[in-house]
Amino acid sequence: MKAKIIVTLLGFCWTVSSFAQAIGVEIDGNPIQLTVAPRIVDNRVLVPFREIFEHLGAFVEWRPSTRTIYARKGDNNLELRVGSMTAKVNGSDVSLDVPAQIFGGYTYIPLRFVSESLGYDVNWKSYTRTVEILTLAHR
């Protein structure tokens, strides 16, 4: 009986913990669905790179041999290498708070850095644990 109660409590704690960790992403107030959930690493939200770039309307390329992501939208060009604390924005080096990383076969990138590099505003809504991206049309 005691073991059953402990297992039930552990299951409840896991459910509450999982719920508390959910992170949403919105573009211009519209929630977007991602195949894999965003992650928090060192207090930064990381998202799967291909999906977020496609939602933002950017062209994206992954080169597995160098573990490098290239993205282009309009006049903005980004280059991020997995594990590097430096990215390139329009050919210039930019320091990152947290590097691109691979989890479970998906490459994650820092959402704020990428969104701001493409010219968007980014806000963190702590009360809903949601990252809000505002494009030029919605500022």
Question: Burial of 22 by CB count in 10 Å (0-12 exposed, 13-18 middle, 19+ buried)?
Answer: exposed
Count the Cβ atoms, other than its own, within 10 Å of residue 114.
26
- Whether the CB-CB separation of 39 and 103 falls below 8 Å is answered with yes
- Whether the CB-CB separation of 130 and 25 falls below 8 Å is answered with yes
- Whether the CB-CB separation of 96 and 87 falls below 8 Å is answered with yes
pLDDT digits 0-9 by tens, 113-135: 999 999 999 999 999 999 999 98
- Please state the pTM of the whole predicted model: 0.79
Query: What number of residues does the chain have?
Result: 139
pLDDT digits 0-9 by tens, 44-56: 999 999 999 999 9
